[in-house]
């Protein structure tokens, strides 16, 4: 996967800034996978989209992730460092199959379009509606608890990368919990930070030397950093 260059990054940031998180995930996935027809992205399995986003994150910003999560039991802020290659290594080598079966139901993997359709609902209703959307036949109203659990487990097995989670143990109270990782948010945070740094650099070098934005962006990162240092700023 190719890294985002500075011009492409600024353009993505500009187009993504005002979007809803799910819409932004689709925009970032289109940048990560130009070989995917753009209109197909909203219907692809979430795990495939997340995998593309993580790979673009690694190619553009490196493998190290410094994150944090709050303990759900005592509220302690837990910092963690993660090598994103470990998450990518867990991805199945084969693409997610089109469908699976459980408890006599035929199911397909959820997509960004499914998440968008249930985004405004309460958690329980959202889970019910999501399952209904992923059932290729029947309705979830007819399911008993055991069938519903089997269906949810089958969906998880169908697309294991759809939910990225990290096991954490709270240093303060010892509670063990799973911190959810959102690949789109991980990538977007980096894009946003880099975009702000680039605009600061353009501003500073334009003031100092009268260069235009394209001229500043055309400099290699090394040259840009040196000129910035000469003007008294930091990259």
The binder of Zn ion chosen from 4, 9, 53, 71 (CB under 5 A): 71
Distance (Å, whole) CA 43 – CA 33? 14
Q: Which is nearer to Zn ion, 11 or 175 (CB)?
A: 175
d(CA 128, CA 123): 9
Q: Could you say whether residue 171 binds Zn ion (CB under 5 A)?
A: no
- Say whether residue 63 binds Zn ion (CB under 5 A): no
Nearest distance from residue 180's CB to Zn ion, in Å? Answer: 17
Tokens of 20: 């809803």
Calculate the alpha carbon distances from 30 to 33, 47, 123 in Å: 5, 15, 28
Among 15, 68, 73, 203, binds Zn ion (CB under 5 A): 73
- Residue 78 within binding range of Zn ion, rule CB under 5 A: no
Q: Is 76 in the site for Zn ion (CB under 5 A)?
A: yes
Say if residues 199 and 122 touch (Cβ distance below 8 Å): no
Judged by beta carbon, residue 23 or residue 177, the one nearer Zn ion is 177
- Among the listed ranges 34-42, 122-130, 154-162, 168-176, the one in contact with Zn ion (CB under 5 A) is 168-176
What is the spatial distance between Cα 70 and Cα 78, in angstroms, rounded to a whole number?
6
The nearest distance, CB 74 to Zn ion, in angstroms, is 3
Q: Which of 175, 199, 217, 235: binder of Zn ion (CB under 5 A)? A: 175
Q: Which of 166, 164, 152, 188 is nearest to 46 (CA)?
A: 164
Q: Is 11 in the site for Zn ion (CB under 5 A)?
A: no
Closer of 71 and 184 to Zn ion (Cβ): 71
Q: Is the dihedral of CA 68, 126, 108, 45 positive or negative?
A: negative
Least distance from Zn ion to the Cβ atom of residue 82, Å:
19
Find the helix or strand (DSSP H, E) in which 23 lies.
helix 21-32
Spatial CA neighbour of 107 closest among 51, 42, 159, 39: 159
Taking the least distance from each CB to Zn ion, the nearer of 170 and 184 is 170
Closest to Zn ion by CB, 74 vs 193, is: 74
- Its sign, for the CA torsion 39, 20, 119, 110, is positive
Q: Which among 125-133, 149-157, 172-180, 181-189 is the span making contact with Zn ion, rule CB under 5 A? A: 172-180
Q: By the criterion CB under 5 A, which residues form the site for Zn ion?
A: 71, 73-74, 76, 170, 172-173, 175
């Amino acid at each position: 996967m190719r890294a985002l260059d500075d011009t492409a990054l600024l353009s993505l940031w500009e187009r993504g800034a005002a979007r809803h998180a799910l819409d932004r995930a689709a925009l970032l996935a289109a940048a990560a996978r130009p070989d995917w027809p753009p209109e197909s992205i909203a219907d692809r399995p979430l795990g495939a989209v997340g995998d593309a986003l993580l790979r673009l994150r690694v190619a553009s910003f490196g493998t190290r992730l410094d994150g944090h999560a709050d303990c759900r039991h005592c509220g302690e802020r837990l910092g963690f460092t993660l090598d994103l290659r470990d998450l990518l290594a867990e991805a199945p080598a084969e693409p997610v199959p089109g469908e699976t079966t459980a408890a006599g139901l035929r199911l397909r993997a959820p997509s960004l379009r499914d998440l968008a359709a249930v985004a405004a609902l309460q958690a329980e209703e959202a889970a019910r509606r999501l399952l209904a959307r992923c059932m290729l036949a029947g309705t979830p109203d007819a399911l008993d608890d055991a069938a519903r659990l089997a269906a949810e487990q089958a969906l998880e097995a169908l697309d294991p990368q759809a939910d990225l989670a990290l096991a954490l143990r709270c240093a303060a109270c010892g509670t063990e919990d799973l911190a959810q990782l959102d690949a789109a948010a991980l990538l977007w945070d980096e894009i946003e930070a880099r975009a702000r740094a680039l605009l600061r650099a353009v501003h500073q070098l334009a003031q100092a030397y009268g260069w235009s934005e394209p001229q500043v962006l055309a400099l290699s990162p090394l040259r840009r950093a040196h000129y910035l240092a000469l003007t008294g700023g930091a990259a």
